[in-house]
Amino acid sequence: MPAIGIFGANGRMGRALTTVANEQQLHLTAATVRAGSALVGVDAGELAGCGKLGLALSETSETSINQADIWVDFTMPEAMLAHLKLAVAAQKALVIGVTGLSDEQYAAMQQASAHIPIVWAPNMSVGVNLLLHLVQTAARVMGQTADIEIIEAHHRYKKDAPSGTAMAIGASIAKTLGRDLSEVAVYGREGITGERAQHTIGFATVRGGDIIGDHTALFADLGERLEISHKASSRNTFAQGALRAALWLQNKQPGLYSMQQVLGLADLT
């Protein structure tokens, strides 16, 4: 079993990863926080609320990167870039669940994947990745006549909008229909907007409370509509998927892999 490390183990997803890794009895050997954090030395399990694990939080560094074979990163884009450099230098595999990447940041991840194996996905849950396949079928059957809208809701603390998952749903639909998402996406409506252009794909964003993550793809035609939804009730579902990806990465060659490949869904397209 590979030795697994967690970047940003003090974050909401970092704590979920620690909890799930402990429940699944995985070989968790490292959990890091940013340099200078007051949490250095705190037991990762106690911080996560799953009991003392005997694993102290350490600073992310050239030294700590060698404490695990495969690392999981749900931090922020800027921190992820620093982690990429450390992983490439130390030849460590990465599972990345960071969203809100700029084109430059995504390109940096692609460049790093020439040297190390990386799984990146805007959403690590099994259900969401199945939804990405279901919307392709819906798009093929209804997409030429139906109006397509994507509605997503998250907690008040989420910093990017629309969510990375919503964008992935839109991209999956647009690709199926032969459209360029950057040209057909509509991210907000206000005032006198005129009639809806049928070829567009709309996005609606909700932020509030402690919503973990809700996503709906709506195909609305005259006389009927189809809604395909996924609702997450716990961050543990994302942690379970990410750790499944970490185990899958063992002994993989350098490359940029998707959760579709991890779950065997890529073969169903």
Share of the chain above pLDDT 70, in %: 99
Residue 122 is predicted with a pLDDT of 85
Phi, psi of 172 (to 5 degrees): -65, -45
Over the stretch 196-216, which tens digit does the pLDDT of each residue have? Answer: 999 999 999 999 999 999 999
Residues 6 or more apart from 16 whose CB is under 8 A from it?
48, 234, 235, 236, 238, 239
Separation CA 159–CA 142 (nearest Å):
33
Residue 136 is predicted with a pLDDT of 95
154, 175, 199, 252: the catalytic one is 154
Does the annotation count 158 as an active-site position? yes
Residue 268 has pLDDT above 60, yes or no: no
Residue 184 has pLDDT above 80, yes or no: yes
Residue 157 is predicted with a pLDDT of 92
pTM, full prediction: 0.81
Residue 134 is predicted with a pLDDT of 94
Over the stretch 108-166, which tens digit does the pLDDT of each residue have? Answer: 999 999 999 999 998 899 899 999 989 999 999 999 999 999 999 999 999 889 998 99
Separation CA 148–CA 136 (nearest Å):
12
Separation CA 5–CA 71 (nearest Å):
5
Over the stretch 67-78, which tens digit does the pLDDT of each residue have? Answer: 999 999 999 999
Q: Report the chain's mean pLDDT, rounded to a whole number.
A: 95
Phi, psi of 210 (to 5 degrees): -115, 30
Ordered structural domains, the chain, with CATH? 4-120+235-268 (3.40.50.720), 126-232 (3.30.360.10)
Residue 210 is predicted with a pLDDT of 95
Residue 186 has pLDDT above 70, yes or no: yes
Residue 96 has pLDDT above 90, yes or no: yes
Residue 202 is predicted with a pLDDT of 98
83, 92, 133, 158: the catalytic one is 158
pLDDT band at 192 (very low <50, low <70, confident <90, very high): very high
Over the stretch 156-175, which tens digit does the pLDDT of each residue have? Answer: 999 889 998 999 999 999 99
Residue 267 is predicted with a pLDDT of 61
Residue 47 has pLDDT above 90, yes or no: yes
